[in-house]
Structure 1
Amino acid sequence: MAESGTSSSPGRSGATQSVSVLLPLPLAGAYDYRVPPDLALEPGDFVIVPLGRRETVGVVWGEGSGELAPARLKDVTERLEAPRMPAAVRRFVDWVAGYSMAPPGAVLRMAMSVSAALEPPRALTGYRLCAGAALPARMTEARQRVVDTLKEGPARLLSELAREAGCSTGVIKGLVDAGAVETVELPARMSPPPPDWRLPGPSLEPAQAEAARSLREKVLAGGFSATLIDGVTGAGKTEVYFEAIAAALEAGRQVLVLLPEIALSAQWLQRFERRFGAKPAQWHSDLGSAERRWTWRAVAEGDVRLVVGARSALFLPFSDLGLIVVDEEHEAAFKQEDGVIYQARDMAVVRAHQSSFPVLLVSATPSLETVQNVANGRYGAVHLPDRHGGASLPRIATIDLRRDPPPRQSWISPPLRKALAETLAAGEQALLFLNRRGYAPLTLCRTCGHRLQCPNCTAWLVEHRFRGRLQCHHCGYMTELPPSCPACNATDSFAACGPGVERLAEEAVALHPEARLAVMTSDTVFSVRAAEEMVRRIQAHEVDLLIGTQIVAKGHHFPMLTLVGVVDADLGLGGGDLRAAERTYQLLHQVAGRAGRAERPGQVLLQTFDPGHPVMQALVGGDRDRFLAEEAEDRQRHGMPPFGRLAAVILSGDSAEAVDRLAREVAARAPHFDGVTVLGPAPAPLALLRGRHRRRFLMKCRRDLAPQPLLRDWLAPIKLSGSLRLQIDIDPYSFF
């Protein structure tokens, strides 16, 4: 495409060059612009260009297309003094756009997520304790946290200090006004000490040492390879891939570590600092704007050698990336569901392949896709079959809720109550796991049966009694419990149905009022600082009984935790999701792995109504490979991933009637030939989401058929108007 116009600059002469500029907007492609004679541009340069009546920042993507005569093109306004976007990143943007069928500019926007980083660095304001100054007479807990934080290390940026101290910026400014804290000018570029790969790592056991040697050789040899680090929970997988990281740093390359939920990785960050003598750069939504700006630019300029981040870190402008590690590679959190839809694990493999360097996939419960790639020889694998330090795997047993039901209006069965009492009496720690936030998943009227539902979504409102509110977990809508039923006006008639972690905590307190209890969910652990504090309390045995959702399952090491009780082991098995059994197995295996990680043996009790289910049998029998083989056989029989291809088409709009009309038009054009099946249209399970009505199609293809060309031919004639949207999800992971 070309951006035409009549702009010109007097006094310019000589040959006119045009360039193609990709803009971080959901447009169909790049635009051509004329290069002024006094401006030299190269692919990857960040430039300011006119677009309509405004100016915007884009990236020089290559030579102009020549569709328009140079005289009809608008001039590039300015080249920004920022590092060029590396060719590897530009190739990756193009590939992701083609594969996900998203506009290239929408993908570019993820790689340009910090526009302020394109500006020259400016001096920053830091905060530190005033030397010799007395503390104010009124010292609140928040003020004391600020003082304690500033005692440990250099001056901090305002947002960084507020986050680390767990307080508002107003608390810090109040300490400045009181004369206890002062502001100082910090250099525009604050480079922390780099990780030191020469520091000795911990002593590795023979299986770990052999795995580490193999990975080091692959890193130092260079070239693309994909390797699964497959080890039981507690086998020391992190220490093994730390040796691969050390090799990459030794070779002078940059490293990216992807974690599914970076804000909950407190123990990982501690382990990294112990191993390499420095903190890694981080990239996640909890960072302040100044840190994001600095990190983005430092990565681009090569000043940051290692980044640990969430899936979006994959689009950082690494100048010399030489290793990617995807930890907990099976986690669904690596799938981006909004905007540009992509699977970060799979895109990490693509990124490594394009630039010819190794990628490591790490898991105790690898995804069936990864297991199949290992079986087919596409990926290599190293295996760690035993727990580190001689610790034994926990004993796992089921509790049949049909034979041992909990008392009425309770959720902890008698066998689990007995085990919990024995564990606490022995001075050990216990974990009760329930993957359901809040107090109760449903609130209804006892008089008329009316259920409190979100006005914007096809979802019940979840009661959060600790915070005194009802909340939708899909759109974030919040309200208070109404004084009377909206349907029948009955008062005092609402009943909480089913348990969430808050209700489970209420029961646990009634059973063991003397126990020190903590609840660990995304509602209570919402930042790195909060995660660090929670982990510290548990490790220091300031907590006897931990109650949590899935965030407790990820990599935490608590030596005194010997009992895990899963309150509703059947919770994830319904809903028709093709990965329901696999996901449930992975989650329960991971949470079971929190028990008995040191010298004390652990036990895991799974409360279930179906102890004969293959997932429960595999967990009790410790036979993961048999479970995966049976799951693979079932998927292959039905032509489902990884033995077939899926693509979802989601239609949405403000009007249900308009969406249905669009769905009929799309259905009429659906392809019909061998190897391709189109299912739908059907209302999405969440037929109303954030106020938009939704209909879904599902295209199922043979493994040897790429769905993208089929989708382009099918959907190209479809014209959207008004609020109607059409979204494509290649390789869908969820079906909400």
Structure 2
Amino acid sequence: TIQEKIISRDPYENHQFEKSESLQLLPDQALACEKIIAATEQETFLIHGVTGSGKTEIYLQTIEAKLKEGKEAIVLVPEISLTPQMVERFKSRFGSEVAVLHSALSSGEKYDEWRKIERKEARVVVGARSAVFAPFENLGIIIIDEEHEASYKQEDNPRYHARDVAIWRAEKYQCPVVLGSATPSLESFARAKKGVYTLIELPSRVNDRAMPEVRVVDMRVELRKENRTEFSTELLEKIKDRIAKKEQTVLMLNRRGYSSFVMCRDCGYVVECPNCDISLTYHQSSNQMKCHYCGHEERVPKHCPSCEGEHIRYFGTGTQKVEESLTKLIPEARVIRMDVDTTRTKGAHEKLLKSFRNHEADILLGTQMIAKGLDFPDITLVGVLNADTMLHLPDFRASERTFQLLTQVSGRAGRHERTGEVVVQSYNPEHYSIEFAKQHDFIGFYNHEMKLRKMGSYPPFYYLTMINVSDENEMKAIRTIQEMAQFLRGKLGPDAVILGPVPSTITRIKNKYRYQCIIKYKIEPNLKKELKTLITHYQKDQQKGLTITIDVQPYVLM
């Protein structure tokens, strides 16, 4: 006989997940669960709980209650690097009922997981932002973990935000949406304060563990002491001490690559990308310089193309360079490096985290992907090598992102029996976002930042829409965006503010010149209609290579 049989590809078939039981909830957690389970119609809950306050257990138990009612659940996590730990927690609680959707799966695996949901074999989906579209027909709850993360917003068309899609879907199924974070975005927290969302506070860690002590080191003082390395004396001493005690350390760096740029010391020439207005980034493993925007690569020149000088040097710090310095300074340290380059291959995230959990290394060094969600018992020291690289970006969310990142990464320390310590290195330690992160004071930061946002008319007080026009002919791009801004000025209400048009921060990418303008408004019922009119008007130009992108509530303004 010839018969057809479906054999599903299971990305987790080689994993043994130990069955886990529901834990005894603390009074705060139990109250949160009751509120969420009792919601019979669409209601958005914001769980504001410090790092290590047991948010995941609330997710697990509310889902369990919904599954008993015969309903289904979606859980969104911000990064692929978080999915292994989340998948483990959900698979060990709900077994084969969990399907996983994220971009690190092969197309075949994605297809099979999707079919598994469609055939009603899976009732819980864990995944990155696109998992919000999972084909469930009887949704009971949608959970968005680390809701402040920018990766929930898609950067190319369709430019949706997973949170908005989740709330829109929940309205159809009349089910609750749960947003969880130790550092909620200002927009969400302001909505919770106004009563649009229901706020649930978890002020203390499980087992009453103390929050780790945060020490801020002024790197300007270190420079005066002739310390030219990436590590302050204090941080080095603490790392050595942890290695001696057989405890683990997490070091976070705010970028990837070996060093930021290649420069001639004689004349100051910086090697730039021929297609984009941005310096090339040096990658040591391939001894190449790469453009992170268009993918252009070239070898490092021996002589300066401008003055023929021989003093071509690398400036800035990257994960590879820090790893090299570490092995020089502490030869006995075993380091695992986690960044975009070491996690390219499939399953690399999991492998690296697993070997760190099994104590095959003393130090986990990485970019922002290691800041969130990791829960290892032996991490007692967290070091942030350069806290302020993000503070100087031309973006009104820069200090919010810095505060969130520092709070998240310091939350990795001392989550179990041993107490944790955090060392933050900074060149402007008196900045308020670093000060508030040091005190673990979200409310203080929120109140300070809200005053600044109000003064500058930024979200959550105003909505933003960004229009970006790019074309290979610079004059055409300028002319188009000026016409658009002029048209909108005549159509919008007196309270709307149009900033620009101005050149974008990176003026040229892939040989296209980019110009942008930003509209700030409170209520503009006609805005969508007018923007549609504009897009239709420029349709012929768009076929000839002009690109118009409109981003409502943008997260990246560069």
Q: TM-score range by the shorter chain?
A: over 0.9
Query: Once the 2 structures are TM-superposed, how far is the Cα of residue 591 of structure 1 from its aligned partner?
Result: 0.6
Query: Once the 2 structures are TM-superposed, how far is the Cα of residue 496 of structure 1 from its aligned partner?
Result: 0.7
1:572 aligned partner, one-letter code: M
| Secondary structure, counterpart of 2:489 in structure 1 | coil
User: Closer, same or farther in 2 for the Cα pair 1:125/1:249, shift >3 Å?
Assistant: closer
Distance, in Å, in 2 between the alignment partners of 1:207 and 1:528 is 39
Per the alignment, residue 455 of structure 1 pairs with 274
Per the alignment, residue 734 of structure 1 pairs with 556
1:297 aligns with 2:115: yes
Distance, in Å, in 2 between the alignment partners of 1:720 and 1:205 is 62
1:203 aligns with 2:21: no
Match of 1:416 among 235, 241, 252: 235
Q: How does 1:16-415 map to 2 (within 5 A)?
A: 123=5, 200-218=21-39, 222-278=40-96, 280-405=98-223, 407-415=226-234
Query: Once the 2 structures are TM-superposed, how far is the Cα of residue 502 of structure 1 from its aligned partner?
Result: 1.2
User: Closer, same or farther in 2 for the Cα pair 1:588/1:401, shift >3 Å?
Assistant: same
Per the alignment, residue 679 of structure 1 pairs with 499
Query: Once the 2 structures are TM-superposed, how far is the Cα of residue 644 of structure 1 from its aligned partner?
Result: 0.8
Deviates more, 1:446-455 or 1:238-247: 446-455
2:549 aligned partner, one-letter code: Q
Per the alignment, residue 401 of structure 2 pairs with 583
Distance, in Å, in 2 between the alignment partners of 1:263 and 1:460 is 28
Distance, in Å, in 1 between the alignment partners of 2:274 and 2:98 is 43
Alpha-carbon contact 2:82-2:374 (below 8 Å) kept: no
| Secondary structure, counterpart of 1:682 in structure 2 | strand
Alpha-carbon contact 1:430-1:563 (below 8 Å) kept: yes
| Secondary structure, counterpart of 2:135 in structure 1 | coil
| Secondary structure, counterpart of 2:554 in structure 1 | coil
Deviates more, 1:697-706 or 1:239-248: 697-706
Per the alignment, residue 410 of structure 2 pairs with 592
What's the CA shift string for 1:567-624, capped at 9, x where partnerless?
Answer: 1111111122111111110011101111111111111111112222111110122221
2:66 aligned partner, one-letter code: A
Alpha-carbon contact 2:52-2:411 (below 8 Å) kept: yes
| Secondary structure, counterpart of 1:572 in structure 2 | coil
1:448 aligned partner, one-letter code: C
2:373 aligned partner, one-letter code: G
Alpha-carbon contact 1:560-1:600 (below 8 Å) kept: yes
| TM-score normalised to structure 2 length | 0.92
Alpha-carbon contact 1:226-1:358 (below 8 Å) kept: yes
Alpha-carbon contact 1:462-1:471 (below 8 Å) kept: yes
**Structure 1 unaligned blocks of 5 or more:** 1-120, 127-155, 166-192
Per the alignment, residue 291 of structure 2 pairs with 472
Query: Once the 2 structures are TM-superposed, how far is the Cα of residue 490 of structure 1 from its aligned partner?
Result: 4.0
Alpha-carbon contact 1:302-1:320 (below 8 Å) kept: no
2:27 aligned partner, one-letter code: P
2:551 aligned partner, one-letter code: D
Distance, in Å, in 2 between the alignment partners of 1:124 and 1:476 is 40
Alpha-carbon contact 1:299-1:319 (below 8 Å) kept: no
Per the alignment, residue 184 of structure 1 pairs with none
Distance, in Å, in 2 between the alignment partners of 1:200 and 1:502 is 41
Distance, in Å, in 2 between the alignment partners of 1:200 and 1:667 is 59
Distance, in Å, in 1 between the alignment partners of 2:372 and 2:407 is 11
1:684 aligned partner, one-letter code: S
| Secondary structure, counterpart of 1:670 in structure 2 | helix
Distance, in Å, in 2 between the alignment partners of 1:553 and 1:261 is 11
Per the alignment, residue 725 of structure 1 pairs with 547
Alpha-carbon contact 2:281-2:292 (below 8 Å) kept: yes
Q: Please give the root-mean-square deviation of Cα atoms over the aligned residues, in Å.
A: 2.6
Query: Once the 2 structures are TM-superposed, how far is the Cα of residue 704 of structure 1 from its aligned partner?
Result: 6.4
Per the alignment, residue 438 of structure 1 pairs with 257
Please tell me whether Structure 1 or Structure 2 has the larger radius of gyration of its CA atoms: 1
User: Closer, same or farther in 2 for the Cα pair 1:582/1:705, shift >3 Å?
Assistant: farther
Query: Once the 2 structures are TM-superposed, how far is the Cα of residue 715 of structure 1 from its aligned partner?
Result: 5.4
Per the alignment, residue 432 of structure 2 pairs with 614
**Structure 2 unaligned blocks of 5 or more:** none
| Secondary structure, counterpart of 1:667 in structure 2 | helix
| Secondary structure, counterpart of 2:469 in structure 1 | strand
| Secondary structure, counterpart of 2:220 in structure 1 | coil
Per the alignment, residue 688 of structure 1 pairs with 508
What's the CA shift string for 1:536-566, capped at 9, x where partnerless?
Answer: 1121221111211101011001211111111
| Secondary structure, counterpart of 1:525 in structure 2 | coil
Query: Once the 2 structures are TM-superposed, how far is the Cα of residue 248 of structure 1 from its aligned partner?
Result: 1.7
What's the CA shift string for 1:58-110, capped at 9, x where partnerless?
Answer: xxxxxxxxxxxxxxxxxxxxxxxxxxxxxxxxxxxxxxxxxxxxxxxxxxxxx
| Secondary structure, counterpart of 1:642 in structure 2 | coil
| Secondary structure, counterpart of 2:393 in structure 1 | coil
| Secondary structure, counterpart of 2:459 in structure 1 | coil
2:83 aligned partner, one-letter code: S
Structure with more relative contact order (C-alpha pairs < 8 Å, separation 6 or more)? 2
| TM-score normalised to structure 1 length | 0.71
Query: Once the 2 structures are TM-superposed, how far is the Cα of residue 281 of structure 1 from its aligned partner?
Result: 1.0
1:475 aligned partner, one-letter code: C
User: Closer, same or farther in 2 for the Cα pair 1:479/1:123, shift >3 Å?
Assistant: farther
Alpha-carbon contact 1:432-1:545 (below 8 Å) kept: yes
Match of 1:481 among 293, 300, 308: 300
Deviates more, 1:246-255 or 1:710-719: 710-719
Alpha-carbon contact 2:82-2:373 (below 8 Å) kept: no
Distance, in Å, in 2 between the alignment partners of 1:236 and 1:467 is 43
Alpha-carbon contact 1:269-1:279 (below 8 Å) kept: no
Query: Once the 2 structures are TM-superposed, how far is the Cα of residue 440 of structure 1 from its aligned partner?
Result: 0.3
Query: Once the 2 structures are TM-superposed, how far is the Cα of residue 408 of structure 1 from its aligned partner?
Result: 5.0
Residues matched between the structures, number? 551
Alpha-carbon contact 2:148-2:184 (below 8 Å) kept: yes
User: Closer, same or farther in 2 for the Cα pair 1:684/1:537, shift >3 Å?
Assistant: same
Alpha-carbon contact 1:443-1:494 (below 8 Å) kept: yes
Alpha-carbon contact 1:301-1:319 (below 8 Å) kept: no
Per the alignment, residue 427 of structure 1 pairs with 246
Query: Once the 2 structures are TM-superposed, how far is the Cα of residue 263 of structure 1 from its aligned partner?
Result: 4.5
Query: Once the 2 structures are TM-superposed, how far is the Cα of residue 326 of structure 1 from its aligned partner?
Result: 0.6
Distance, in Å, in 1 between the alignment partners of 2:6 and 2:101 is 20
| Secondary structure, counterpart of 1:476 in structure 2 | coil
Deviates more, 1:447-456 or 1:394-403: 447-456
2:38 aligned partner, one-letter code: E
